[in-house]
Amino acid sequence: MKSSEERLQKALDDAQEFASRHANEKTKLGNSPRWFQLKPFFDSFLASVKTLRRDLADNKAKALAEDRRALGQAFNQLVETYNLVSQFNR
């Protein structure tokens, strides 16, 4: 779980660094790049992964069901937002 969290954190950091270097770029339609619309959802997903990892490590059995639900919800929101943004940023 820890290695997955670290890879996700690195992906977030790399994406943020790339986006900051290209902050003024626009799509063909004049929209901001997708990352700026997806970042809040990726942040939420990563926070859910970190919470689940901590609760697993601390053996907080009661919290794990809620952690899994929150992780699934954050992932679904990220995917749904990506799909929606992709339709309008072509």
Q: Is residue 11 part of a domain?
A: no
CA distance 65 to 15: 30
Residue 61 within any structural domain of the chain: yes
| Residue 21 domain flag | no
Average pLDDT over all residues of the chain:
89
Q: Please check whether residue 58 lies inside any domain of the structure.
A: yes
Specify if 70 maps to a domain. Answer: yes
State the total domains in the chain: 1
The residue with greater pLDDT, 33 or 89, is 33
- Would you place residue 11 in the very low, low, confident or very high pLDDT band (cuts 50, 70, 90)? very high
Residue 37 and residue 12: Cα distance in Å, rounded? Answer: 13
Residue 90 clears pLDDT 70, i.e. is over it = no
Look up the domain containing 85 and give its range.
35-90
Q: Which residues contact 31 (CB under 8 A, 6 or more apart)?
A: 88, 89
In a domain, 3, yes or no: no
d(CA 28, CA 71): 33
Answer yes or no: is 73 within a domain.
Answer: yes
Would residue 78 count as lying in a domain?
yes
pLDDT tier, 37 (very low <50, low <70, confident <90, very high otherwise): confident
Which element (helix H / strand E) includes 63? helix 61-88
